Amino acid sequence: MVNYPFLTSAPGKVILFGEHSAPAIAAALSLRTYLLVSKNKDDLEGYIRLEFPDIGLSHQWKKSEMPWDLSTHEQGRPPASEELNAELVNGLTPMLTTITSPLHYAAAYCFLYLFVSLCHGEVEHGLTFTVRSTLPIGAGLGSSASISVCLASAFAYIGGHIKAASLERDSKIVKDSDECLFIDAWSYMGEKCIHGNPSGIDNAVATHGGAVMFQRMENAVPSVRTSMRNLPSINLLLTNTKTPRRTADLVSNVARIVNDFPKSTGCILESMEAIAREAYNLMLRPFFDEDSKGRLMELIRINHGLLVSLGVSHPNLERIKLYCDELKMGETKLTGAGGGGCAITLLTDDIAAETYEKLFAKFEQNGFETFRTTLGGKGVGLLGNPAEALLQYMTPESFVNFNNTTEIETSIGCTAVESWKYW
Ligand SMILES: Nc1ncnc2c1ncn2[C@@H]1O[C@H](COP(=O)(O)OP(=O)(O)O)[C@@H](O)[C@H]1O
Ligand SMILES: C[C@@](O)(CCOP(=O)(O)O)CC(=O)O
Ligand SMILES: [Mg+2]
């Protein structure tokens, strides 16, 4: 039995090494996406409503319009497939014809694909799905994966495919829960709807949290996810150019370049692979000393240079790098798909306060925004006691007005991490 309303949440991620290649290293961020699922009032028709104010999308369909017969689910848990189900994709197209913005289209398509695949016949009422994120959207921090994970976990719960989350998840348990593996697999399908050919690292981090080294495999060979415990405490500056871009465009452009210049790009991809492996070994050294940090910085610089050669930088990303280089702040690389979005700078120790002031003044002149965030946080969660009672008063209208995690959590009385349940 599902109790409405309920809230799911998943983190964004930062890729430290290996975007557009494999393996890659990424860690969960404290910036997160939240999904409120509530029953509609006075809704005899049974509408499924989307309220996605972060991208200015408000849309609804009748439950009876959904092509339920096209989801191949028979009995038990529906398995996620290697590729999107072409019949279902075709069946959803007429429901999306009035949505013209690519941003809106991607979000609505991901919603419908996962909803029809996972909630087969289990929805008796009209429902509203309201999403708020404290992540910048389309900025390389994995907002697409975090919304996919929020949706996949909510639908898996509504569809009865996963049991309720619990408060007692023991972080020492090494084995992943079946629930998390199910959410990970289906959120990957959601990522496919949003950007075509994802590696799976973003949804893996948004589901499981922590930090991982992720090796994508081809031809139905399962990907390998190695969790990285005890990350060294590195001082990272995260800066958003605020230059919009779509991961889908960048990923397809890199695929084109690799296809057109297989020999010339092959060695670039191989170098990026070597960088990620070397960084992994460095970061897991029992003593992460000055020498390790120096080497990690050099790998950041090399990795960025290779990404530039694949055409995924942007003048604003280069500006961030230039300012940081001029002030000798450390080493900078783009993070995520590039083309705009965010850069990370691994900072040197003992930077003077006035140096930071100079840097932030330059950033301000350019309209760049820096983030304070911590790495390696929790993965997907469901809001539970003691906030459940307060959650009854949460409406889509009030939820859309919150601006950050603290506001959302304070309003529902659950600033304590213990309020969240985990799978
Ligand atoms: N909070 C959100 N509300 C609605 N849609 C979202 C949200 N976050 C992400 N999306 C969807 O994900 C897309 C951005 O994904 P992507 O281009 O991969 O960038 P990134 O994952 O780096 O933020 C958006 O265009 C939108 O379709
Ligand atoms: C470019 C890539 O390596 C990361 C994309 O991340 P983001 O959507 O820019 O946050 C693609 C992927 O790994 O799926
Ligand atoms: Mg993305």
- Tell which one of 31, 188, 202 to mutate to probe ligand 2, the residue whose CB is within 8 A of the most ligand atoms: 202
* Euclidean distance between CA atoms 148 and 171, whole angstroms: 23
Is residue 117 within a helix (H) or strand (E), and if so which, with residue range? helix 102-118
Task: Report CA Rg, the chain.
Answer: 21
Q: Which atom of ligand 1 is nearest to the CA of 246?
A: 17
Tell me how far apart the 2 most distant CA atoms of the chain are, in Å: 66
pTM for the full predicted model: 0.95
Question: Is 202 an annotated catalytic residue?
Answer: yes
Q: Whose CA is nearest to atom 5 of ligand 1?
A: 107
Pocket of ligand 1 (CB under 6 A): 33, 52, 54-55, 103, 106-107, 131, 133, 137-144, 147, 194-195, 246-247, 336
Please give the pLDDT value at position 411. Answer: 64
Reference 307, options 57, 5, 15; nearest CA is: 15
- pLDDT digits 0-9 by tens, 9-54: 999 999 999 999 999 999 999 889 999 999 999 998 999 999 999 9
* Ligand located closest to 143 CA: 1
Query: Is 251 touching ligand 2 by the criterion CB < 6 Å?
Result: yes
Q: What is the pLDDT along the chain (423 residues), one digit of tens a residue?
A: 888 888 899 999 999 999 999 999 999 998 899 999 999 999 989 999 999 999 999 999 999 999 999 986 677 899 999 899 999 999 999 999 999 999 999 999 999 999 999 998 778 899 999 999 989 999 999 999 999 999 999 999 999 999 877 665 555 555 688 999 999 999 999 999 999 999 999 999 999 999 999 999 877 788 999 999 888 988 999 999 999 999 999 999 999 999 999 999 999 999 999 999 999 999 999 999 999 999 999 999 999 999 999 999 999 999 999 999 999 999 999 999 999 999 999 999 999 999 999 999 999 999 999 987 789 988 999 876 545 656 666 778 777 777 666 676 666 655 544 567 888
- Tell which one of 13, 14, 19 to mutate to probe ligand 2, the residue whose CB is within 8 A of the most ligand atoms: 19
Query: Is 198 touching ligand 2 by the criterion CB < 6 Å?
Result: yes
Q: Crossing angle of helices 143-158/201-208, nearest 10°? A: 60
Query: For 299-326, b where at least 16 C-beta lie within 10 A, e where not — what string?
Result: bbebbbebbbebebbbebbbbbbebbee
* Euclidean distance between CA atoms 376 and 365, whole angstroms: 31
Cα(153) to centroid(ligand 2), Å? 21
Please give the pLDDT value at position 385. Answer: 52
| DSSP-assigned states of every residue in 367-394 | T-EEE---BS----EEE-TTSHHHHTT-
Please give the pLDDT value at position 384. Answer: 60
Q: For residues 162 and 183, is the Cβ–Cβ distance under 8 A?
A: yes
Give the DSSP letter of residue 171.
T
Residue ranges of alpha helices (H) inside 227-328 are 247-260, 262-283, 290-309, 315-326
Reference 11, options 162, 145, 131; nearest CA is: 145
Domains defined for the chain, CATH in brackets: 6-227+375-422 (3.30.230.10), 236-371 (3.30.70.890)
Q: Whose CA is nearest to atom 15 of ligand 1?
A: 144
The residue from 42, 43, 202, 260 that is catalytic is: 202
Q: Is 17 helix (H, G, I), strand (E, B) or coil?
A: strand
Cα(108) to centroid(ligand 3), Å? 15
Cα(285) to centroid(ligand 2), Å? 27
